[in-house]
Structure 1
Amino acid sequence: MISLKKIWHRGDHRIGIFFPYDAYDTSMKKKLKSLNARFSKSKSCWYISYSKKAYHQFKQDFDTYDISIDKTINTDKASAEKRHTLPISQKAELQSEKTKPLHSAHKSEYQIDPRLKLKVLDNVGKYWVLQCQYVSKYVKKLKKVKGVYWNSHHKVYMVYRHPEAKKNVEKIFGVPLFGDDYLIKDNHEEKLRIEIFVYKEDTRYMLIKFSNNYRLIDCLKRLSYSVYSKTKDAYLLPATPEMNEALQLHTDALGVDIESHLPKKYLKKSNFINSKSKKISSTRQYILDLVPEHAKPCVEDMVDMLMAMNYSSSTLKNYSNAFINFLKYYNYKDPEEFTKKDVVKYLAYYTEMGLSSSSGHLVVNALKFYFKNVKEWDEDMSFMKMPRPKKEKKLPTVLSESECERIFEAVNQPKHKLLLLMAYGAGLRVSEVCQLRWRDIDEEKHQIMIKSGKGKKDRLVMLPYSIVEYIKIYRSLYDTKDYVFEGRVKGEPYSTASAGSVMRKAVKKANIDKKVGIHALRHSFATHLLESGTDIRFIQKFLGHNSIKTTTIYTHVSKGSHSKIQSPLDRLKNKNKEIN
C-alpha cells in the first residue's frame, strides 16, 4: 500500500510518497528514480514536485500498486497560509504524529515569528531538540548560548537539558518551549540494569542485555572488544574474568544493577579475544544480521568457508555483501536453483543501474567462490564460465605538490595533520595508516614495517626524515601506547571513515576543486616519485603491488617526457606569431 500526502518541504509543497520499508525493492527503486523522486530524511519519505504532470506520471508508473491519498490535510492555499501564522502549540496539532513535538507547554497566547516554523522534537539523550528555519536575527543569538549546538546531519539545534540553557533559549523566542525534564533528574530517577547471559552461538562471548539509557549505552560502546548484535539487541563481550571485572568497574559510577545468569566456570582467561579475532567476529555478526532467518544457512556456509581459508575481514565483508545482494535480488531463493542465466540477468541489472565494472567483478568473484568452494560445482564448467564486465581504464586522480602542501597547511589539529603526512610521505593505504603501531616505526633506520597489508603481505616503506621531529612532538601530546592513531575508545585504532572525513574537510578548507579522497595522497606519492626519476621497481615495492603492471598506471598521469611534447596547434599559433 502506497500513501500520498501533501507535504511542505524545502520551501515548497511536494507530493510525499509513503510506503512500508519491506515494499522498497529493486522495481520500486527504478520507478522512483524514473520520476526524479528524492528522499527526505526529515520527512522519512520520497517526494516529487506538486504538479498535475508529476501526479499523473506517478499514477501511470505505479498502476499495479494500491494507492491511497491522505485528504486530511487541507490543500487550500488560504488554509495553508493560515497554518503558517498559527501559534506553535496550535500548529503542532496539525502535524503528523511523527513530527509532533514532545512538549507543547507554551500556550496559544504566545506568538512566534511564522518564518521560524519552530518545532520541539523528541529528546535525544541529554539534549532537547529544536527545529526551525534559518532566520538571521534568532540564529545569531542561538549560537551565543552556552549548551546549544547545531547538528548539521539532522538540521536541528541540540539544547543541553539544563535550567540555564532553557532560560536563555526561551528568552530568545519569547515563549516557554521545554519541560522541566532536566538531565540531573534522569540521574536520580532512572534505575539502570544489566543482565548477563550465555551466548550460545559462540561461548567465548557473554551476551549483555541492558536498560535503554544513552549513558549506559555509551559506556558499553567504549568497552574494549564490545560488539553490538542487532538481531539480539544486545552487546557481546569476551567471557573472561577481566572483562567481567571491567564491566562492573565502568558501570559502577552509574549505579547499575548487574544480574548474572552465567553458569560456574563460564568465564575463562582462554576466552580472551585478540584484535584479529574481534575484527573477524564483529564482521561475521554484521553479515548474519543482514539476512532473514531462512537465508542464514547458505550465507553462514560461505562465511565459514572464507574464514577457514583465512581471507581478510574486508574480503569476508565484500564477498558476503555481494552474495547477499545477489540472493536478495531473487528473494533469497535456494542457491541450488540458480543458473548461469540468472547471473547474466543480475549483471545486466548492475550495468543498467550504472554501477562500476569493479562491482560486477566482485559479484562474479563472490559467486564463483561460493559455487566452487562451498557447493563444489567443479564439474559444471559452463556455470563457472560467467561473463565478466569489461573494465574501465580509469586514471587515478593526482594532486600536485603545491596542492598537497595547501592541504597540510589547512589542518591545524596535530593528530589529523600527522595522519595525512604519513599517508602521503610513506604512500600508505588508509587502513595501513589507521592500523599503524608504534613498534612498527623504526626512527633510526627511517623505516616503517607494514604488517598484514593488502593480500596479507608485509613490506618495508620509507619514513620521511622531515616527519621524525613531528612524530616526537605528537607523541608528547598524545599518550598512546599501542596504535599511533587511537579512536574514541582508548586502545582501539582510528577508524578509516574518520580519516576520510579529515581529508575531505582539509580539501574543502584548502579550496581545492577536485573530487579526491585520502587515497589520492597515495596516488600523489607514487606519481611525484616517478616524476623525480625514481625507478618504477622501487615504487612498486613501496606500494606493495604484486605486478609491475599495476604500478605503470602512474606513468600515464606523471608529467614525464610527454610534457615536453608540443601540440601541433601550439606550433601553428607560434608560427603565425613569427610571420606577423
Structure 2
Amino acid sequence: MILDFAEHRGIIEAGNMKLAEVFPEFSRIYRADRRVSDRTFLNYTRQWGRFEKWLGDNHPEVAGLREVTEEIAKEYWRLFQDGAASTANQHLSTLKVVFETMKKPAGLLFNPWESIARRVKDGISREYLTKQDMTKLFQSFGRGGANEHCPAEYRMLLQIGKSTGLRLADCCLLKWSKIDFGKNQIVLIPRKTQRITRQVTIPLFEDFRRALQEWPRETDHVLPKIAADFTLHESGIKKEIAAIFQRAGFETTVLLPGRKIPTCVIGFHCFRGTLTTDLFNAGVPSSVISTIIGDDIATLEKHYTKVNAAHIHAAIAKLQF
C-alpha cells in the first residue's frame, strides 16, 4: 500500500529493479553526475560484485533491489567484523552510495545501509621514519648494499616520495611538465583529489632538485618504466617496494590479534607522514603544510603529525601560570 502510494505520487519509480540491472544503471547515473577516477570506480565494481554474488548464494529469493532489507544488510556486514576496518568501511561506503543513488530509479523507500555504523579503525599507524631510518634505507642501494642491484628507478621513486610526500600513484606517474625548476616547485593535482581539483604546490629541496636535474629525461614521465608498469601491474610495484624495505632490514608488518594477514606499518606511505611531521616540527604553519601535502589541516593533524616531545616541552615552557 505504501509502495503504491509512493509510486503514484512520483516519490519513487514503479517496478522492482532486477539485481543484474542495478550496477549498469548506477554506473550510467553516477558517472554522468560526478567526476570519479577509474580506480575508484573499479573498487565500486568489485565491491558491488562481491555483494551481488553473496546475495545469490545466500538469498536466492531476492530478485530485485527493493527486496534487500536492513536485516540482510546487517547479515552481510557481519562478514566484515574481523578484517581490516578500512577495507570493511570501503565496502560499506560503496553499498551506501549505490543504494542512495538508486533510491528513486529502483523504487526504494529507504536505504538499508543507512543505519549501519562504520567500524572504528585499528589503532595501528604507519611508522615515522627517522633520519637514521632514511640513511639506512638509501644506503642499501649503494655498493655492497642489500638493494645494490635494484633498478635505479626504484631509488628515484623512493626519493620522490621522501621529498614530496606524494602518494605512490602520483610518484610513479610524475611528469616532467609538473616540475618547474624556474620557480623551484612541483605543482599538480593528485589523483585522489582530482574530483575536487585540490592542487598541491611542493617546494624542491636542494638535494632533490639536484637529483632531478641529473636524472635522464627519456619520456614525458620522470620514471618511464615504473609509470608503464604501474598502469598494468600496480600490485607488483607495491610488492617490490615492500621487498626493498625488508632487504634494507626493516620489519614492515605486524600481526594483530585475531588477524590472519599481517598489517603493514612501514612502507611507501611512511614518507608522507614523515615529511608532514618534519614540516610541523620545524614550525611550518599548518596552512602551508596543507598546500604542500594536499590534505586539510584537520586530517593532517589527526593522521600524520607525530609531535616531537621537545616541541611539546618548549610550548609548555612559554605558558605563564
On whether the aligned pair clears a TM of 0.5, the verdict is: yes
Cα separation, 1, equivalents of 2:128 and 2:229: 34
**Partners of 1:401 and 1:529 in 2: how far apart?**
14
Deviations 1:377-432 (A, max 9, x none): 79734635231233225433221121022112213443111110111101010011
Distance 1:469 1:426 in 2: 14
- The one of 444, 451, 463 equivalent to 2:182 is 444
Quick one: distance in 1 between partners of 2:127 and 2:224? 29
Alignment of 1:473-488 (within 5 A): 473-475=214-216, 479-487=217-225
8 Å contact from structure 2 (residues 281, 311) kept in 1: no
Matched, 1:400 2:138: no
The residue aligned with 1:557 is 306
Whole-Å Cα distance in 2 between the matches of residues 489 and 523 of structure 1? 23
**Tell me, what secondary structure is at the counterpart of 1:346?**
helix
**Structure 1 residues 386 and 314, CA gap change in structure 2 (3 angstroms):** farther
Deviation at 1:437, TM superposition (A): 0.8
Alignment partner of 1:481: what SS?
A: coil
The aligned counterpart of 1:390 is: 119
**SS of residue paired to 1:380:** coil
CA distance in 2, matches of 1:491, 1:325: 27
Matched, 1:465 2:235: no
Instruction: Say if 1:486 and 1:492, in contact at 8 Å, map to a contact too.
Output: no
Q: How does 1:358-369 map to 2 (within 5 A)?
A: 358-369=86-97
Give the distance between the partners of 1:493 and 1:348, measured in 2 at CA: 34
> Contact 1:485–1:494 at 8 Å: present in 2 too?
no
Name the amino acid aligned to 1:470: A
The answer (yes or no) to whether the contact 1:395–1:557 under 8 Å persists in 2 is no
Q: Shift of the alpha carbon at 1:310?
A: 2.3
Separation of aligned partners in 2, 1:489 and 1:356: 29
Aligned to 2:85: 357
Q: Is the partner of 1:317 in helix, strand or coil?
A: helix
Q: Equivalent residue for 2:15? A: none
For residues 359 and 409 of structure 1, the distance between their equivalents in structure 2, rounded to whole angstroms, comes to 35
Mark the structure with the bigger radius of gyration. 1
Q: Match for residue 70 of structure 2?
A: 340
- Partner SS state of residue 331, structure 1: helix
Counterpart AA for 1:303: S
2:274 matched residue in structure 1: 524
Alignment match, 1:418: 156
Q: What do the CA deviations read for 1:132-186 (whole angstroms, capped 9, x no partner)? A: xxxxxxxxxxxxxxxxxxxxxxxxxxxxxxxxxxxxxxxxxxxxxxxxxxxxxxx
For the structure 1 residues 449 and 497, does the alpha-carbon distance in structure 2 shift closer, same or farther, using more than 3 Å as the test?
farther
> How many residues are aligned here?
266
Which of the pair is proportionally richer in strand? Answer: 1
From the superposition, tell whether residues 501 and 414 of structure 1 become closer, same or farther in structure 2 (CA, over 3 Å): same
Per the TM alignment, residue 562 of structure 1 is displaced from its structure 2 partner at its CA by 7.1
Query: Which residue identity lines up with residue 530 of structure 1 in the other structure?
Result: F
Query: What is the rounded CA distance, in whole Å, between the counterparts of 2:129 and 2:157 in structure 1?
Result: 17
Instruction: Give the Cα separation in 1 of the matches to 2:157 and 2:226.
Output: 16
Counterpart CA distance in 1 for 2:230 and 2:220 is 9
Ranges in structure 2 where 5+ consecutive residues have no aligned partner: 1-17, 142-147, 254-265, 315-321
2:4 maps to which residue?
none
1:300 corresponds to: 24
Query: Residue 219 of structure 2 aligns to a residue in which SS?
Result: coil
Q: Counterparts of 2:227 and 2:268 in 1: how far apart (Å)? A: 23
Percent of matched pairs sharing the same residue: 17
Native 8 Å contact 2:176 2:221 kept in 1 = yes
Counterpart of 1:509 (choices 247, 254, 257) is 247
Gaps of 5+ in 1: 1-293, 566-580
Task: Return the match for 2:39 from 305, 314, 319.
Answer: 314
Tell me the C-alpha RMSD between the 2 structures.
2.9
Q: Which residue does the alignment assign to 1:370?
A: 98
8 A Cα contact 2:103 2:110, kept in partner = no
In 1, the alpha carbon distance for the partners of 2:246 and 2:229 equals 30
Measure, in 2, the Cα distance between the counterparts of 1:324 and 1:296.
10
Larger proportion of helix: 2
Relative contact order higher in (CA < 8 Å, ≥ 6 apart): 2
